[in-house]
Amino acid sequence: MATSLLSRVEAVAAPFIFGLPEPARRLIAGRPVRLDGQELALDAQLLLRLQQIARVSMSSDTPEEARRRIVESGTLVSGARIEPVRTREIDIPAEHGPLPATLYEPAGLPSGSALLVFFHGGGWVIGSRASHDNTARYFAKHSGVRVLSVEYRLAPEHPFPAATEDAIAAFGYAHAKAADLGADPERIAVGGDSAGGNLAAVTAQVTTRRGGPAPAFQMLLYPGVDASRRRRSRELFGDGFFLTDADMTWFLDHYAPAGVDRTDTRLSPLLAEDFTGLPPAYVATAGFDPLRDEGEEYAAKLRAAGVPVTLSRQPDLIHGYVNFLGIGRRFREATSEAAGALRVGLRA
């Protein structure tokens, strides 16, 4: 009860703080943070300060506790529900049983529209359709597409490759049942943030290599694409910038525990030998994100293989920014760019 009350108080306080004049926000956030030739956005720095005060962490002693915390902290940052967007609950048939999903349909969208199959982030351990509800609504409304948000299985209850299998099954269902979903089967994208970006990239690779059907576009938002080694951005930004080095280790140890080959391209798609023929892509990275460098390497490999790709580094932002739609302006600006890229990428 006390925790729920605190969350409600924080949910009221956060918009108030972000609505203060810039000098007051700067006073709360502290001196500007500059690192690697970049300056952290005031909105991002202020969010990190509030996270520090609230003692919010993505990892925890147990997955159950981490999942509870991420739900509670979501009330701080996701904002008021984006409307008008209609939702419909769907069960996707899978070998292990029905896979829950939510179809988001913006008002006035005709049948035969484009569709995004969306995979939420959370290190394959936390996160859900609920945690990314407003993110899915935002892409539906501002990209003018239907969005199928998938509740794939989480680790450690369901370790690698369970989430990958679910993602591939979800895309296959969306393509086969496009008419039932009001979608054009030739204009179906895959996308997601962080671990969801990993699942989208893997789905695009697997479906392309087996001869299709494959996505028409991929929207990869600060994706994790190589679990096999550390990069410079992880050393630079692994502490104090929302997603931490400890979080990443905790997530991977749950999803890909001892005995899993972390060079498997279904886990580390950056290590694939052949990138030719993959769908056009929008790859977004955040300047102050431990995953920045591997995401940008992925875009470079796509480009080298002749795949049309737009790489967009948001140099002043942190990991997770598409979930922070209810505070400040900078997070919405970056998410709006992604929505525009999706709209253009799926244009008939």
Tell me how far apart the alpha carbons of residues 18 and 24 are, in angstroms, rounded to a whole number: 9
To the query of whether residue 96 is one of the catalytic residues in this protein, the response is: no
Query: Beta-strand (E) ranges in the chain?
Result: 34-35, 38-39, 85-92, 99-106, 113-119, 146-150, 183-193, 217-221, 281-286, 309-314
What ranges in 78-231 are assigned the alpha helix state H? 133-143, 162-176, 195-209
Tell me how far apart the alpha carbons of residues 218 and 203 are, in angstroms, rounded to a whole number: 9
Q: At what angle do helices 162-176 and 195-209 cross, to 10 degrees?
A: 60
Catalytic residue among 184, 247, 289, 316, which?
A: 289
Catalytic residue among 120, 142, 175, 319, which?
A: 319
Catalytic residue among 194, 247, 254, 293, which?
A: 194
To the query of whether residue 194 is one of the catalytic residues in this protein, the response is: yes
To the query of whether residue 247 is one of the catalytic residues in this protein, the response is: no
DSSP-derived letter for residue 19 is: T
End-to-end CA distance of the chain: 51
- The residue length of the chain stands at 348
Cβ neighbourhood burial of 144 (10 Å; 0-12, 13-18, 19+): middle
Q: Pull the structure tokens for residue 121.
A: 């982030």
- Residues identified as active-site: 194, 289, 319
